[in-house]
A and B are shown apart, each in its own frame.
Chain A
């Protein structure tokens, strides 16, 4: 049921990075690969560089870099780190239940 709703809604993700650091670059690559694999066609990713827009760090309560925020579906989830551990990222996005997706 929940999975079905999530499937219908699609995923709005935001990734906060700070400049072109290796960690940031790794995170961008990791989330793109992951989304293509698990959420093809029903996700959007905004990549926000706080170096360019520092005011957003406070407004969006960002502490760590990189931070991935799942805006939709609710509730909001936060995942920090370079997203290299795919299993944990899936857990953070509630995508970790095997058999939930075909």
Chain B
């Protein structure tokens, strides 16, 4: 039934999978829909059932060599072809090449009189004929529930549907059966009763006037599947699902570094910049230079021959490019070269999950090495706080798993302390730069502080952060008895320091001269004293030799005297 060249991945459980080719869906189902079996896709009107089904068939026919039959009970084939033409699905071509067959089954109750026993054998014949004609491996029935409104004998219909799904299994085709969402059950007419292998639920929820599409695999017999609700997107590139929670804490940690684009900032990061694949948070108040730091990073990545996506959530790309020219950055050149892509969306345009799903898709397509999200904080307002954090966690995990270095900017209000508690996402970040404006002497000056940078011996210094036409620079702030000084106060203080240094220098020179003079004087004195000492020594030695001569003479005299006394002395003893 399944030839080896068709993309049915055999998994450990022995279930064949038919790839849908839909970004994300194949991941969360472990390879695709159950091969050779029917899958029920249900959801309310307008939630994307038909598009999912068409995509499944289109990808099968165009990419995986599996022709398909689309049996539509509602939309006319012309409308169907037109509707998906905007997604570049050229169904007409596939039909001409006999890779796709569309059959419109029209059942109008008002035109039909029912009398006596009947069955739906003709439907089987139609479907069987179409399948055999093009060698179809995939079938879509969209939506077969229309039969319930067209035919009145429910007992026959149910029996025939049961037979139809069994027949599809016997045929060995992978089928999608769509069904309208019903009250208290998955489908209005209980189709889930017949299709038991795989059930996918699509949802379209409105929260705060913003809709988010979600997909959930309710059931997948024999496969461990993701059970969460996953946001999915429908846009000009088709349908994509974001299997975000699949990302875990198993991403690799690279030792490689990537420049922040600011030499002085790199210097604070052991002279080498951020770790590749790390998440960097740049938070600060309005106008503190967050976007500029992010843009520098993007520029540096492009300069290194890497790709970068800049998600602009507050400013238009044109505005960012213009603004960055004022600090000497030409981002337009990278856009022209295809290294930099801007993706600009208003946060309020769609829900948080949709935003993140869009990012997920863009990243998967463009495969950048660097990503900028400017600002992350505006996403926090697109959903409720709890959701927002969970989604950002998933985004961070996803980007890390792709080894993408990401700079998130975040707008903070008030003082630094609230900035820290406000951004509860900071614990997810590997590096955190805090920017703030200090007001003193009637001016605001930017300061930068590296709160953390995991895994490196980073600088702990507060720096003054200066933006000029030539770029961005970090300068040591003046820290002294007069406090932390920045801006013109620092410049003035530095001038004072310089004056003081000059004065000190002169003083030193004077002292040096003085000392030299004193030294010379002392040296002269020493010389004089030494001359005196030499005189004294000479005198002393003269006196010494005189005294020696005198001693010798005295001894001689004593000897002679002794000799003369020895004659008399023994007699006296006797």
Interface string of B90-131 (1 = CB under 8 A from A): 000000000000010111000111111111111101101110
Do B119 and A55 touch across chains, with their CB atoms under 8 A apart? Answer: no
Do A58 and B103 touch across chains, with their CB atoms under 8 A apart? Answer: yes
Looking at chain B's contact residues, is the secondary structure mostly helix, strand, loop, or mixed? mixed
Asked if B151 is an interface residue, CB under 8 A from chain A, the answer is yes
Asked if A73 is an interface residue, CB under 8 A from chain B, the answer is no
- B119 to chain A: which residues have CB within 8 Å? 23, 64-65
Do B120 and A79 touch across chains, with their CB atoms under 8 A apart? Answer: no
Do A54 and B105 touch across chains, with their CB atoms under 8 A apart? Answer: no
Do A51 and B116 touch across chains, with their CB atoms under 8 A apart? Answer: no
Do A55 and B129 touch across chains, with their CB atoms under 8 A apart? Answer: yes
Most buried by A among B106, B119, B123: B119
Do A54 and B126 touch across chains, with their CB atoms under 8 A apart? Answer: yes
A44-67 contacts to B, CB under 8 A, are: 50-51, 54-55, 57-58, 61-67
Of A7-15, A35-43, A84-92, which binds chain B? A84-92
* Contact residue among B112, B114, B122 (Cβ-Cβ distance under 8 Å from A57): B122
Say how far A22's CB is from chain B's closest CB, in angstroms. 9
Number of A-B contacts (CB under 8 A): 98
Do A80 and B129 touch across chains, with their CB atoms under 8 A apart? Answer: no
Say how far B306's CB is from chain A's closest CB, in angstroms. 54
Say how far B462's CB is from chain A's closest CB, in angstroms. 77
* Contact residue among A30, A61, A92 (Cβ-Cβ distance under 8 Å from B113): A92
Do A63 and B123 touch across chains, with their CB atoms under 8 A apart? Answer: yes
Do A54 and B113 touch across chains, with their CB atoms under 8 A apart? Answer: no
* Contact residue among B105, B111, B116, B120 (Cβ-Cβ distance under 8 Å from A81): B116
Most buried by A among B103, B106, B120, B122: B122
Give the complex CA separation of A30 and B125 in angstroms: 24
- A64 to chain B: which residues have CB within 8 Å? 118-123, 151
- Give the number of residues in A that approach B within 8 Å (Cβ atoms): 34
* Contact residue among B105, B111, B122 (Cβ-Cβ distance under 8 Å from A18): B122
Do A78 and B112 touch across chains, with their CB atoms under 8 A apart? Answer: yes
B1-27 contacts to A, CB under 8 A, are: none
Do B113 and A78 touch across chains, with their CB atoms under 8 A apart? Answer: yes
- B111 to chain A: which residues have CB within 8 Å? 76-78
Most buried by B among A23, A51, A81, A84: A81
Contacts A63-B105, A63-B120 given: A18-B114 contact, CB under 8 Å?
no
Give the complex CA separation of A92 and B117 in angstroms: 16
* Contact residue among B107, B114, B122, B151 (Cβ-Cβ distance under 8 Å from A65): B122
Question: Which single residue of chain A is at the shortest CB-CB distance from B151?
Answer: A64
Do B126 and A58 touch across chains, with their CB atoms under 8 A apart? Answer: yes
Do B116 and A85 touch across chains, with their CB atoms under 8 A apart? Answer: yes
Do A63 and B116 touch across chains, with their CB atoms under 8 A apart? Answer: no
Say how far A16's CB is from chain B's closest CB, in angstroms. 7
- A18 to chain B: which residues have CB within 8 Å? 121-122, 125
Give the complex CA separation of A92 and B111 in angstroms: 9
Contacts A16-B122, A63-B123, A65-B122 given: A89-B115 contact, CB under 8 Å?
yes
Give the complex CA separation of A51 and B124 in angstroms: 10
- B106 to chain A: which residues have CB within 8 Å? 61
Contacts A80-B112, A81-B114, A92-B115 given: A65-B120 contact, CB under 8 Å?
yes
Do A77 and B113 touch across chains, with their CB atoms under 8 A apart? Answer: yes
Give the complex CA separation of A36 and B118 in angstroms: 23
* Contact residue among B107, B113, B117, B151 (Cβ-Cβ distance under 8 Å from A79): B113
Asked if A28 is an interface residue, CB under 8 A from chain B, the answer is no
Most buried by B among A51, A58, A88: A58
- A82 to chain B: which residues have CB within 8 Å? 115-118
Give the complex CA separation of A88 and B150 in angstroms: 17
- B130 to chain A: which residues have CB within 8 Å? 58
- A26 to chain B: which residues have CB within 8 Å? 116-117
* Contact residue among A50, A57, A83, A91 (Cβ-Cβ distance under 8 Å from B116): A83
- A80 to chain B: which residues have CB within 8 Å? 112-115, 118, 151
- B113 to chain A: which residues have CB within 8 Å? 77-80, 88-89, 91-92
Give the complex CA separation of A55 and B121 in angstroms: 13
Interface string of B171-209 (1 = CB under 8 A from A): 000000000000000000000000000000000000000
Do A61 and B105 touch across chains, with their CB atoms under 8 A apart? Answer: yes
Give the complex CA separation of A65 and B118 in angstroms: 6
Say how far B80's CB is from chain A's closest CB, in angstroms. 15
B524-552 contacts to A, CB under 8 A, are: none
Give the complex CA separation of A17 and B452 in angstroms: 79
Do A57 and B126 touch across chains, with their CB atoms under 8 A apart? Answer: yes
Do B115 and A62 touch across chains, with their CB atoms under 8 A apart? Answer: no
B121-151 contacts to A, CB under 8 A, are: 121-123, 125-126, 128-130, 147, 150-151
Question: Which single residue of chain B is at the shortest CB-CB distance from A86?
Answer: B115
Do B115 and A85 touch across chains, with their CB atoms under 8 A apart? Answer: yes
| 10 closest cross-chain pairs (CB), A and B | A92-B113, A81-B116, A84-B116, A54-B129, A82-B116, A88-B115, A65-B121, A62-B122, A81-B115, A57-B126
- Beyond the given A50-B122, A62-B122, A78-B112, please list 8 additional residue pairs across the A-B interface where CB-CB is below 8 A: A21-B121, A57-B123, A57-B129, A65-B120, A67-B118, A79-B112, A81-B115, A88-B114
Between A and B, 29 residue pairs with Cβ closer than 8 Å are A23-B116, A23-B118, A26-B116, A50-B121, A50-B122, A50-B125, A54-B125, A54-B129, A55-B129, A57-B123, A58-B126, A61-B105, A62-B122, A63-B120, A63-B126, A63-B150, A64-B122, A64-B123, A65-B119, A65-B122, A78-B112, A79-B112, A79-B114, A80-B115, A82-B117, A82-B118, A84-B117, A89-B113, A89-B115
